[in-house]
Amino acid sequence: MFETLDLHFQGEPEIIASYVLRGPRGVALIETGPGSTSDNLLRGLMRLGIAKEEVTDILLTHIHLDHAGAAGYMAQLTGATVHVHHVGAPHMIDPSKLLASAGRIYGDQMGPLWGDFLPVPAEQINILHDGDVIDAAGIPVKAIDTPGHAYHHMAYWMDGICFTGDVAAVRLPGYDHIRLPTPPPEFHLELWKESVEKLRAMKPDVIVPTHYGPKEDCNDHFDSVIAKLDVLTDYLRQRVLAGDSAEQMMAELPAWLAEQARREGVAEEGVHRYEVVVPSYMNVTGVLRYFRKVEGLTI
């Protein structure tokens, strides 16, 4: 029903995917990955025997750079319709605010990490709301509003297959270990849990996180996401209440997360790849902002 393109982000295998749907009227992509891997995306399509002119639709789970960074380039190259959450759509048409915010986080690493983020022509945007059904290259795909990781997050449902973006977190092939991407500014603990339960209630046969690849143990995976949300936020909340600074937490969280991964059977190369796709400092900044805005903690 779908094919997986490994975008080899930062030269690492199997950490960011784009998913390919071949339909009766063309080809749809779920995620494009960042601008820095657009050449890898095009080469992957060529290996599958797909010409760029065949791409008719691009479905974005959300507008973060690792998921949507190449969408403008691909839209301009192919003429494809870009389907995106109504909150994220304006930033795909004019990404200046998004890029300014990301630039404050990544500084001089913006280019090497993410490459170019080109605008999507407004006439090629299809704005999505919860429950909308997309005609993706002739295949009906349902959009499911799933905030928590970001307010502008959609999961996509196709015949029991659920493409979960980041709402089902990160789980690399060969491991049961789950790592949570909790970047600022929109991480929200309760909304994320509600979104996971919303997907669970739909009883998918397979879930397909962008990071990375299909999982058939859906309920166990969802249980682990909920548990990890509590473990991470409880740990950081205790550090805040103990008076630790954000700088202390950022310095110490990588070792804490790495040890969690090792205890769950992740080899050292896997520990490294989890850190590449979910940098520890982003976990800290996103959760601390949630504590300040939602829980009223002083940090």
* 59 closest CA partner among 48, 68, 46, 47: 68
Which residue has 């309920």 as its token pair? 219
Query: Residue 101: is its pLDDT beyond 90?
Result: no
Q: Write down the pLDDT at residue 282.
A: 87
Instruction: Count structural domains, the chain.
Output: 1
Q: Is residue 71 part of a domain?
A: yes
| pLDDT tens per residue, range 270-294 | 999 999 999 998 899 999 999 999 9
Angle at 189 between CA 67 and CA 163, to 5 degrees: 35
> Residue 230: enclosing H or E segment and its boundaries?
helix 218-241
Mean pLDDT of 40-56: 98
Q: Is residue 283 part of a domain?
A: no
Residue 192 belongs to a domain:
yes
CATH number, domain at 62? 3.60.15.10
Other Cβ atoms less than 10 A from the Cβ of 279: the count is: 19
**H or E stretch at 74:** helix 71-78
- Say whether pLDDT at 1 is over 90: no
pLDDT of residue 299: 79
Q: What's this model's pTM, rounded to 2 decimal places?
A: 0.96
The candidate with the shortest Cα–Cα distance to 209, out of 179, 248, 167, is: 167
Q: Per the domain annotation, does 288 fall within a domain? A: no
Evaluate the CA torsion angle 92, 65, 222, 21 in order and state its sign. positive
Range of the domain at 212: 3-230
61, part of any domain = yes
Helices 218-241 and 246-263 meet at what angle, rounded to 10?
150
Would 264 be classed as within a structural domain?
A: no
In a domain, 296, yes or no: no
Q: How many residues does the chain have?
A: 299
Q: Is residue 68 part of a domain?
A: yes
pLDDT in tens, 13-30: 999 999 999 999 999 999
Angle at Cα 25 formed by Cα 24 and Cα 30, nearest 5°? Answer: 90
pLDDT > 70 fraction of the chain, expressed in percent and rounded: 100
- Residues 132-178 have pLDDT tens digits of 999 999 999 999 999 999 999 999 999 999 999 999 999 999 999 99
